[in-house]
Each structure stands twice: as C-alpha cells, then as structure tokens.
C-alpha cells in the first residue's frame, strides 16, 4: 500500500523558513517523480514543485522559484521542500504527491494527507 | 502557459442524476494527457481518471472521462451521495496547472 506522510508544517512568520518532509512507503521511491501541490484555504489546487526520479531534475512554479527548493533522499525514501522567504500568500495545505512515472508526462496517482503551513505574524 | 477553464463552477444536482463536467484548455494538452481528481471536504484529492478516459484503481464505473486535444469532460452517470465533491482537471503533458474546479453539490 502506497503511503505518503508529510511532516514539518506549522506556523511561521513572514520572511521565515520551514522544511517539509514526506516519508514514502509501499513503492520503489527512487523510480518515480515526486511533487508538492498546495491548496490555500478555500481555494483550488496549485502545483508547486517537482523532482524526477533518480536524475533529480527539479521544476518550480513561478510563484516559488528562487525561494523554495525541492530535494529527495532515495536512500531514506523521503521527499523534502525547503521553503525560504515565506510570504502570507504561501499559507496553504501542502500535499506530497507521487508521480505515475519517473519523468514527464506523469499524473499524480497518490497523495498524502497534507500538512498545513500558516504564514502569519 | 496553458490556461484551463472548468465549467460550470457549481453543479447542483440530486442523487441519481447524471453529472457532466467540462474542462477546456487554451491550447492542446497533447493528445489525451489529462487527469481528473476528486476532493471531498477535509480530504486530500484522489485520482479518478488518467489518460482522459482511464479509471484509476478502485474508481467505480459510473465515472467516465472523454475528450482529446483541448476539450475534455467527466461524466458521473448516476450520482451517489459520496460523489458530491469538488472535481479538478489537470493536463500532465506539457503543463502541471490545475483547473479551478467544479463543485458538485446536492440540490
């Protein structure tokens, strides 16, 4: 059974930093692309960042480029999202998602339960 | 960048009725590289349809998808109480953008 368990969310002040983690199990982690998708309160889904399987190529939405960094540790089956210079409009539930393949094109076939990141003073 | 428009924003129907949701892209998404997701309140989204018309594992056959290029639809043949939710489309060929969502609510 595929499981994605996010952690690391919590209240952070504007301008602060936070690192999210996603522990994956139930599949060969190193063979699949992974992504972060977020959802602001009462809003729709926004793709944030993606990383390919073993090659580790990374991609970012314009809204987070230069502030967020996605990475993975295939030896620990864990995905990360380092978030710097956080702004109020980064407030959202952040979902870890598994891609359907190692590289594009892929859809998100499994989702974690999400971790809430409120950015507020 | 591909812009997605889902319609309608809200669909008010009764259990047992048929629901048809539309997803239109500003340009071709590349054949059938389109997915649909369902999200219930307080829950994470889950994959319903991939490749425009393929049901994900465990998805009931009352859900069906169709379309190609830039025009897609999701049909729920007979709404069950658990189907009232928000539905998002997403092209996954050259874009990762989601549509704004269609809420299917109980009339």
Q: Tell me how far CA of residue B30 lies from CA of A82, A86, A105, in angstroms.
A: 32, 35, 10
Assign residue B100 a region: left if phi > 0, alpha if psi is -120 to 50, beta otherwise?
Answer: alpha
- Confidence band (pLDDT; 50, 70, 90) for A47? very high
Are B86 and B101 a contacting pair, CB within 8 Å? yes
Each residue's pLDDT tens digit, A59-109:
999 999 999 999 999 999 999 999 999 999 999 999 999 999 888 888 999
- Does residue B95 have a pLDDT over 90? no
Whether the CB of B20 is below 8 Å from some CB of chain A: the reply is no
**In the prediction, which pLDDT does B21 show?**
98
CB burial class (10 A; 0-12, 13-18, 19+) of residue A77? Answer: middle
Question: End-to-end CA distance of chain B, in Å?
Answer: 36
Residue A34 near chain B (CB below 8 Å): no
Pick left, alpha or beta for residue A109 (phi over 0 → left; psi -120 to 50 → alpha; otherwise beta): alpha
Q: Looking up tokens 């996954």, which residue turns up?
A: B92
Q: What is the pLDDT of residue A101?
A: 86
In this prediction, residue B93 carries a pLDDT of: 77
- What's the pLDDT score for residue A10? 96
Q: Which of A44, A100, A114 shows the shortest C-beta gap to B50?
A: A100
pLDDT at B96 over 90: no
Q: Pick from A59, A105, A112: which is nearest to B92 by CB?
A: A105
Alpha carbons A71 and B24: distance in angstroms, whole number: 33
Answer yes or no: do A109 and B88 touch at CB < 8 A: no
What integer pLDDT is reported at residue B7 of this predicted model?
Answer: 97
pLDDT band at A55, cuts 50/70/90? Answer: confident
Residue A54 has pLDDT above 90, yes or no: no
Is 90 exceeded by the pLDDT of residue A56? Answer: no
CB contact under 8 A, A109 and B44: no
Of A37-46, A78-87, B87-96, least confident by mean pLDDT is B87-96
Please check whether residue A95 touches B, CB under 8 A.
yes
- pLDDT of B94 above 90: no
Q: Judge contact between A92 and A39, C-beta under 8 A.
A: yes
Rounded average pLDDT over A110-119: 98
Identity of the residue in B56, B88, B96 whose CB atom sits nearest the CB atom of A50:
B96
Write down the pLDDT at residue B54: 97
pLDDT digits (tens, 9 = 90+) for B30-62: 778 999 999 999 999 999 999 999 999 999 999
B45 part of contact set with chain A, CB < 8 Å:
yes
């Amino acid at each position: 059974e595929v499981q994605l368990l996010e952690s690391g969310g919590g209240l952070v002040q504007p301008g602060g930093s936070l690192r999210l983690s996603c522990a994956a199990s139930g599949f060969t982690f190193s063979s699949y692309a992974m992504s972060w998708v977020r959802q602001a309160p009462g809003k729709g889904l926004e793709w944030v960042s993606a990383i390919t399987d073993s090659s580790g190529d990374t991609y970012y939405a314009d809204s987070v480029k230069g502030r967020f960094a996605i990475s993975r540790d295939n030896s620990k089956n864990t995905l990360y999202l380092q978030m710097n210079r956080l702004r109020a409009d980064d407030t959202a539930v952040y979902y870890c998602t598994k891609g359907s393949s190692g590289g594009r094109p892929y859809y998100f076939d499994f989702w974690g339960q999400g971790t809430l990141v409120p950015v507020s003073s | 960048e591909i812009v997605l428009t889902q319609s309608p924003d809200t669909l008010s129907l009764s259990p047992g009725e048929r629901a048809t949701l539309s997803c239109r892209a500003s340009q071709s998404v590349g054949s059938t590289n389109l997915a649909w997701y369902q999200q219930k309140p307080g829950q994470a989204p889950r994959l319903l349809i991939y490749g425009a018309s393929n049901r994900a594992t465990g998805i009931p056959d009352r859900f069906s998808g169709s379309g190609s290029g830039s025009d897609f639809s999701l049909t729920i043949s007979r709404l069950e109480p658990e189907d009232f939710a928000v539905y998002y489309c997403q092209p996954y060929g050259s874009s990762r953008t989601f549509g704004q969502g269609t809420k299917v609510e109980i009339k």
